């Protein structure tokens, strides 16, 4: 009886520590994830910009060459634009809507 209680107690401690570790991991990557998302958006902005008349300096031919390799990123940008989370996605929608 006492052994079972001890096992549960220890199990709870392990679960608690695991949750803490996971929480710590999530917390530690949130800043990295934010930087990643912003850089990704900046990169897409630079690549897609020349194709809709936004002068970013990147030669359009490089944009065309890269476009096919950015499928996942473009779809992600699309989903962020849908959810209204991404100002750059919104900007593209606005710029090209005329």
Partner 1 sequence: MEISSQHFQVSDVRGRILDVLDLESPGGQRILVVIGKGGVGKTTTSILLSLVASTRFKTLIMSIDPAMHLAEYLGLGDAMGRFVHVKGNLWAYQLDLDRSVRDLAESYTMHVRDLLPSLKVLNLDDVIDIMKNVPGLEEEVYLRTVREATMRDFEVVVVDTPPTGVTLRVLTLPRLYNLWLGKLIELRERIVALRYMIARTLYGEREVRDRALDKLYKLKDHYSTLEKIFTSPTHTSYILVSNPEPLPYTEMAKAMDYIARNLNQKPKLLVMNKVSLAPSTSIHHLGGDIMRVFCSLQFPKMVIREAPKPPSTLSDIESLLDYVDLSFCEESLPRL
Residues that bind partner 1 (CB under 8 A): 25-26, 28-29, 32-33, 35-36, 39-40, 42-43, 46-48, 51-52, 57-62, 64-71, 73-75, 77-78, 81-82, 89, 92-93, 95-97
Instruction: With CA atoms as reference, report the closest residue to 41 among 75, 73, 4, 84.
Output: 73
Query: Which CB, 3 or 72, lies closer to partner 1?
Result: 72
What is the nearest approach in angstroms of partner 1 to the Cβ of residue 87?
Answer: 13
């Amino acid at each position: 009886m006492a052994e079972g209680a001890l096992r549960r107690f220890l199990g709870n401690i392990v679960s608690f520590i695991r949750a803490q570790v996971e929480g710590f991991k999530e917390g530690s990557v949130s800043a990295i994830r934010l930087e990643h998302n912003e850089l990704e958006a900046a990169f897409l902005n630079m690549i897609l910009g020349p194709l809709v008349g936004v002068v970013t300096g990147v030669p359009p031919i490089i944009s065309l060459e890269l476009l096919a390799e950015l499928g996942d990123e473009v779809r992600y940008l699309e989903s962020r634009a849908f959810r209204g989370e991404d100002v750059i996605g919104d900007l593209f929608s606005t710029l090209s809507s005329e």
